[in-house]
Amino acid sequence: MFLLRVNMIDRTYKVEELPETYKYLAGRAMTSTLVADEVPPLCHPLGPHNKIIFSPGIVTGTAAPTSARVSVGAKSPLTGGIKESNAGTSWGSDLAHLQIRALVIEEQPKDKGKYWGLYLSWDNSTQKPKLDFFPADEYTQKPLAEVFSQLYQRFGNRISISGCGISGEKAYSNAGVVFNDEDKRSTRYAGRGGLGSVLASKGVKLILTDRTGAPDVAIVDKALFNEGQKKLSQALQTHAITKPKGALNSYGTAVLINILNEAGGLPTHNFSRGQFEGAPKIAGEAIFEGIKQRKGKEIFNHACSPGCIIQCSNTWYKEDGSEHVSCIEYESDWALGADCGIDNLDDIGELVRLCNEYGLDTIETGNTIAIAMEAGVIPFGDGKGAITLVHEIGKGTPTGRILGSGTETTGRVYGVTRVPTVKGQAMPAYEPRAVKGIGITYATTPMGADHTAGYTICPEILGVSGKVDPLSNEGKTALSRNFQVSTGFIDSSGHCLFIAFAILDIASGFQGVIDECNAVFGTNWTADDIMTYGANVLKKEHAFNEAAGIGKAADRLPDFMKYEPLPPHNQIFDIPDDALDSVIGGL
């Protein structure tokens, strides 16, 4: 396996043998380690000393189910701290087949304002990956669907694509890194933290992968791998949430809209209350029925990336039956819908489509629009007005540049006091005053407010691994810590986080994940080793943030959540500061 380093000063690259000290690092463990080891914590995120790093997970590129994840890491322009964001895409599998454990893009070109594409392929003569540069200015200032179409026409369907959109070119703090989905749409995102702007700051618009002729991912013990793969597949295909025609395959992630609404934990009207009267109109069930009406038949969801057997990605259609957007995820549905008081699925679908076209994170964008609504720029519930605001972001107007800078900056500009951010990053679709464990995760993860960093929703809302009262403070610090630690490993494994539903309830499924990883690396890890691995990832990330000036005083929720009771439960976030400090202190 190799590290491939790209120096954008002179557009050169070198292929290095993977250092022995990095032998067992992949995915988030690899990106966070390289950021911690090589990026000065106090550097400017869009300056020459930051680096952007891509790493496939341990089992990415293998036949492991639901495992085509790739991690992207850098110092974040949104949080000012370390950042890892990941996505499921064939691009990650290609990187693994090209034997690239980490792609590291360094420095900046002297001819600023000019953009380049990178073409990664396999050199049969050297048995190493190789890189070719090509001018990419012709692909700038265009919607990403058009860009992807042009690239497939030029290079052929064998490639996979990553890159940034107009938002990255404009250096917005809310710019994601885009990847292709299984139908070659420009819709899979490592969306959070502004990493699309870091990529653009390197003068890189596009990264294409072509795995033609590349070898398979090496597996030390194929018999053990097959055994682990079978255990995990069986768990995923029998669990109520992940099985075929189960909750996710039928209704997508937006199945959570009604569930969280009933629990009083669905933030609406800029986190002013926990229930949205329009929730049933935009929920996963409504999406499923809407598709049925417009297509004349029941359509179950599809995979976003190779080898996914959960298949939770939907496609929303226009009234005439033509495709509108794929897909409307729970977080996007909530952020651009419930949080903004919008209950029209066609408006939400258009907002998601525009975010995909401009390269924007839907969570940050929805929160930002809700702030603008709070400030009176447009009224809550104004779907068409929200669409206009996203176009403003894409055009780079003065208002658009403010909004593209993210939720916290927009709140500061408009003088709004109810700003739902942690470490500069907007909160996802779970109200921490109504779901206390996820609030602790938001506060204490090094990533800024991020539900995927420690998804306590499993026990608190869904009853996975046992039911826990979401309104109770009891045991929640340990709960969040354990979820954050285990997630540090899952994000490194290459598996989608959604395997958690099955492996938390079905012990053989969890063992299957361990078996797969041991089979690839030739290790003998136990469940305890897995937790140690995840804890080490977190320790590195927190150490980087401390050195960047982001200490435990930043591990807090915004002040308004401590004194504004949230209807309908009228709860505040009352986890003591010393309890929050104990989450990381207990690693």
* Contact status, residue 236 vs residue 66, Cβ threshold 8 Å: yes
Give pLDDT, residue 113.
Answer: 86
Q: What is the pLDDT of residues 278-315, one digit of tens each?
A: 999 999 999 999 999 999 999 999 999 999 999 999 99
490 and 584 co-located in one domain:
yes
Q: What angle do CA 494, 497, 500 make, to 5 degrees?
A: 115
Q: Tell which of 181, 209, 237 closes a domain.
A: 209
19 upstream amide cis, omega within 30 of 0: no
Query: Is residue 181 domain-shared with residue 280, that is, in the same domain?
Result: no
Q: State the Cα–Cα distance between residues 458 and 465, nearest whole angstrom.
A: 7
The arithmetic mean of pLDDT across residues 201-228, rounded, is 98
Does 86 fall in a domain?
yes
Residue 200 has pLDDT above 90, yes or no: yes
3-state secondary structure 92-142: HHHHHHCCEEEEEEECCCCCCCCCEEEEEEEECCCCEEEEEEEECHHHCCC
Residue type, 294: R
In the predicted structure, residue 581 carries a pLDDT above the cut 90: yes
The mean predicted confidence, pLDDT, of the chain is 97
φ/ψ of 411, rounded to 5, equals: -60, -40
Domain boundary, last residue among 378, 397, 429: 429
Domain membership of residue 240 (yes or no) is: no
For residue 235, being part of any structural domain is answered with: no
Q: Terminus-to-terminus CA distance in the chain, angstroms?
A: 31
State residue 112's pLDDT score: 83
Does residue 568 lie within any of the structural domains?
yes
Does residue 27 lie in a domain region? yes
**Residue 22 belongs to some domain of the structure:** yes
Q: What is the CATH number of the domain that holds 480?
A: 1.10.599.10
Same domain (yes/no): 379, 455: no
DSSP 412-442: HHHT-S---EETTEE--SS-TTTSHHHHHHH
Identify whether residues 418 and 340 lie together within a single domain: yes
Whether residue 368 sits in one domain with residue 279: yes
518 contact partners, CB below 8 Å, separation of at least 6:
221, 224, 228, 524, 525
Domain end among 411, 429, 447: 429
Alpha-carbon span 194 to 178, nearest angstrom: 12
Using 50, 70 and 90 to split pLDDT, how confident is the model at 559? very high
Domain that holds residue 331: 249-429
Closest CA to 492 of 102, 27, 22: 27
| Within a domain: 479 | yes
Judge if 19 and 150 occupy the same domain.
yes
Per the structure, the count of domains in the chain is 3
Does 422 lie in the same domain as 466? no
Same domain, 200 and 255: no
Is the pLDDT at 412 greater than 90? The verdict is yes
In the prediction, which pLDDT does 166 show?
98
How many other CB atoms are there within 10 angstroms of residue 85's CB atom?
A: 27
The secondary structure of residue 14, as a DSSP letter, is: E
pLDDT tens digits, one per residue of 525-534: 999 999 999 9
Where helices occur in 298-344 by DSSP H, the ranges are 330-335
Tell me the C-alpha distance between 208 and 397, whole Å.
31
Looking at the predicted structure, is the pLDDT value of residue 404 above 90?
Answer: yes
Band of pLDDT at residue 275, cut at 50, 70 and 90: very high
| Same-domain pairing of 79 and 103 | yes
pTM (predicted TM-score): 0.98
Tokens for 241?
Answer: 């949430």
71-230-187 Cα angle (round to 5): 35
Nearest to 168 by CA among 133, 194, 130, 189: 194
Q: Which residues pair with 5 in a beta bridge?
A: 14, 104
Query: Which pLDDT band holds residue 270 (cuts at 50, 70, 90)?
Result: very high
Is the pLDDT at 61 greater than 90? The verdict is yes
What confidence category does residue 323 fall into, taking pLDDT thresholds of 50, 70 and 90?
A: very high
Judgement on whether residues 26 and 90 belong to the same structural domain of the protein: yes
Per-residue pLDDT tens for 95-131?
999 999 999 999 999 888 899 999 999 999 999 999 9
For residues 147 and 6, membership in a common domain is answered with: yes
Whether 360 is covered by a domain: the verdict is yes
Note whether 189 and 316 are same-domain residues. Answer: no
* Neighbouring residues of 46: CB distance < 8 A, sequence distance ≥ 6: 77, 171, 197, 198, 201
What sign results for the dihedral spanned by CA atoms 133, 135, 141, 143?
Answer: negative
Chain segment 476-497, per-residue pLDDT in tens: 999 999 999 999 999 999 999 9
Domain holding 131: CATH number? 3.60.9.10
For residue 337, the SS3 value is coil
User: Residue 179: pLDDT above 90?
Assistant: yes
